[in-house]
Structure 1
C-alpha cells in the first residue's frame, strides 16, 4: 500500500451449474490464496455463486436461497481476511431478482451493485429472469446487516484515499454509456467488472481493446474477471479471460485458465495525480453514496513491470516505428518554421557527437520534404581545446556523406584573445575556460547565420535541459531546437535507426558516433588523444536521469517513490547508494537550472513530456527544493 500501490487479483473460479455449495468452496479457496499473496482486492466473475448459465433455474426458489446461503458463507469466511472481495451473485431484493456485484470486507457487506444493462439479443436473454434496477441507491437489510443497494456506490479506503472503487457488470462495459463513465467522473479510480463473457472468434482481442480504451479514457484501473470452467456448453463456449489494465496499459492477463489468481499492483496515486494534471475530472458525488472501509497498512512487493527506459520502446519493431515517427515530427517542426519565416538555409554546429548528429539528420529530412538542396545546410565544425580527431573526423565524414555544406572554423585563437581581454589565465581549466568556448561557438553560428540569411538549428536535448547541462547563452541558445524534447537515451536509438537504413559509408560513421562517449569536449584530451571530459562521469548516467525525469515530471512522484522504483528497475546495474547519489544530483540541478529553461528557444514537442516554458513545464527559476531535499535526506 506504500506509495499508492495496491495488490489486486482476478480469477475465474471453477463452477458447477446450480451447485452453490461447490461454487462457494471455489470462491473461499481463492480468497485464502489472495490473502496468502498479500492481495488487497480480489474480483471474481458474474453470478459465480450459481454459474452464469443456469437459465430458467434462476427463477427457482431453491437456487435463490442457495445463492443467499453462499453469500452468507463467503461473508463469514471473509472475517478472517483483510481482502476486499467483489463477486457476482443473484439476489432477491424487495421482491425483484437482480444480477449483482457483492462487495465484502472482513465480514461486512459494504454494498451491492445491480447490473444496469441486461443483454437481451442474440445468445443473451437476461431480461427473462433479472430486473433492471432504478438509477438510485437505497439502504436494505441483508443477512442481518444494514447495507447499501444501488447503481451509484463508491467504496473508498480510509488509509489510501486515492483508492475509490466502483463496480459494473459484464454488459455494462459494452454499452455506449457505460456506468463506469459516471463512476470515474464521481471520483472512482478503480473499476471492477464481474463478467461472464462467452468466447467467439475475434472476441478476445475486442475485449482487450475495449478494456484498454475504457481504462485510458477514464484514467482508471480496470479489473476484469471472466467466467471460468464449468459453465454450460449447450450453445456457448466460455473461456476464462482475466485482465487488469491501468490507464490504457496492460498490467496482467490470463486466457483459458481457471482457479488461478492473476495478480499485480495498481498505482492509484499515479491515477489520482494524472487526473489532477488533466483537470477534466471534477468529482460530483451528489448522486453517489461513498462507503468507507479500512485496510491494515503494509507495504507490498512490486511485481508490476517497471520500465527502466521509459522513453524507449523495448520491442524492436515498436522502437523502429517510434523512431521513424519522432524523426518525422522533428523534421515537420523545422519545415514549418522555415516555411513560415521564408528561410531556405540553416546552420548547425556539428561536433561529431550524438546530439549534433541527430540535429543534422533532422535538417536533411526537413530539406528533403521541402524539396530544397541539401547544400543550403551548412554544418560547421569548430575545433577547440578539447576536440579530438575522432569527433572532428566523424563530423567531416558525416557532412560529406549527407551532401551538406561543411565549414571548419577553429575557435582557438578567438577564445585565446578573449582570455586576454577578460584577464583569464588559459592554464586555469575552470568554468570560464569551458564556457568561453561554448559561447564563442554560438557566436560563430549566429553571425554566420546572419551572413547566410539562415536559421541556427539547436542541438541540445531534453536530458541536458533537465540537468541544465548547457552553457547559458552558449549551446543553450539557438533559433530553433529540434531536439528539445528528445531525451538522451532516445537520441542514441534515433541515430542507430537512421544508420540501419543508410548506405554503408553513412552507416559506418553514424555507428561510430553512437559508440563515442558523450562529451562537450571543452577540456584538453588525454595524452593518447581520447576524450578526457566524459559527461556521464560528471553528472551521472543518462539512463538514470531520464528515468528520474520521467517519473518526476511526467507523473509527479515524490523522491522516495522515484528512488524505490529506480532501485527495482536498475537492481542489476547499480547499487542503491549509487542511485541515491545521482537522484540527489538530479533534484539539485533540476531546481537550480530552471533559469536556463525559462528562456529556451522554440522546439517541437514529440512525446508525452516537454520542459518548454510555453508548454508542459512552467516553474519559477528561484523555486526552493527544500521539501524535496528533506525527503531525500531521509532515504
Structure 2
C-alpha cells in the first residue's frame, strides 16, 4: 500500500441516521441540511448520510421520470452550497449517460466528486438493476492526509472489491452509505459482516444506515463505526433518528498494516483506484478536545423487542407519511387483533386509535368481554356493532337463491365481510386508515376472507407467524406489567385456543394443523423453498406436509389482493416471494 507523506491526525466523523420519505425531495433536503449544520456544530470534519437519502429508498419508478431526477440534482446543488467547513457524503440518484445509485462528495460549496455503486442487488425485495447502471470500481477521496474509500450498501456486503481495492490503495477509512431493509436478526448479521470487512481490509469502517418505514419495508438504522481490529467503537440506536459522532485514528490502520503484512502480495495485484476529490481538512478544535477512537455505543435490542419495535416504527411511518391521523381496527378478543391494537397505540398514541367490537351469534361472551377490557386498558375509543341484523338481512336476500342448500363456509365468510364493510364505512366517513389483523400463518394457507378480514389499508402483522404473534403479545404485556404493575392484555386472550368464531365451537385446529406444526412447515416451504420430500425428511408427517403445501399454493390469489404489511421475516409475501397465481407446479 503506498505511503503517505505526512501521518494523518485524528478524524471526527458524524453519521446522520435519518428517516427519509420517498419522493419528498424538499423534506429530505431540509433533513440533510439540518444534519450538516448539526455535524458542523459537533466539530465533525466529515458527515455521512444514507444511501439515496435525498430521494428516500426505494424510489422505484420515480427514477424513470426525468423531471424527478432533475429536481433531485437541483436539491443536491443547493446542499453543496452549504458545505463550508465540513465535507458531506450524500446518497442520490445521478443522471448522466444513464442513472446511477451514487454518492456525492460535497465540500467548499460545490459537488467535488461522485462515486457510483458497483453491486446492484436484484434479489429479495431489491430491484436495482431495473433502474440503475453499474459503477466501474472503487474510489477514494483525500481529506487532509486521510485517504477514505467510498462504498454504497451492497458494495460492502460483497467480499473483496471495491472495498479491498480501496484499502490496498491506501484507504485507512472505508465509509458505507446504506439503505439496508430490516428483518428479524438482520442487525446482528450486518454488524458481524462489517466487523469482518474491517478486519479484512485493516481499515476503520463507518456504516451510515437509513431508518424508518417505507411501505412494506422498515429500516433499522444501526449506524456504527468499527475500528481496524473489528471492535465496535460507536453505534447508533435502532429505529430512531440520530446523529452519531465519533473520533477515529486513521494512523492506527497504517501502523497495524506495517506489523501485519499478509495483504502485501494481494495489494500488488489490486486494481488501481482513482482519487475523485482532494480536500483540505476542515478546521476543528484541538485534537485533545475529543477522545480518540470513541463514540457512544447504543445497546442492541433483544430479538423480540427488536421485532416489536420494527412493527411500531413501520406502522407509525406508514400512517404519518401517507397523511392519516387515526387508524381503526376490529377487536375480536383474539390474540392477533390484540397485538395490532397494542402496536397501534404504541405507534400513534391512544387518541390515534379506534376499535370496533362486532359480535355475532357465535361470539362468546368471554371473548367480547376481553376485547372490551383490552380497549379500556389501552385507552382507545370503542365502537359496538352487533352484526346479527345484517346477517339476517343477507340471509333473507339470499334465501331463494340458496334454497335447499345447507349453511357452509359461505355464511361464515359473510360475517367477516359484514365486519369489513363496517370498518370501511368508518374509514370513509372519518378518513381513518383500516388496519387488517391477519398473521402470516393465516395468510400462507388462505385462512382468511377476501373483502372481509383482509379488508384494510395496512396489514401490520402480515409477516408475523402465529407463534411469533403470541411471543410478541406476551412481550408487550410483560413490559406493561414491569412498568405499570398492571395487566395490559387480558390473560385469556393469550391462553384461549384460537378461533375465528364464525360457527359454533369453532377452533383453528379444526381446519389447520396445530400452529406448533404448521409454522415450522411454513418456514421450510415459504422461507426456505424446501420441497415436499425435503420437509418429510425433516420429520414432518406426510399428511401435514401435503395439506399445507396444497393450502399455500391454492391461496396465492388471495395474497395478491391483501393490503401491504411490514416485512419482518427473511421472506415476506409480496416484494420478496413472487409466485405465479396460474401455476400447475405442486410441491
TM-score, with structure 2 as normaliser: 0.48
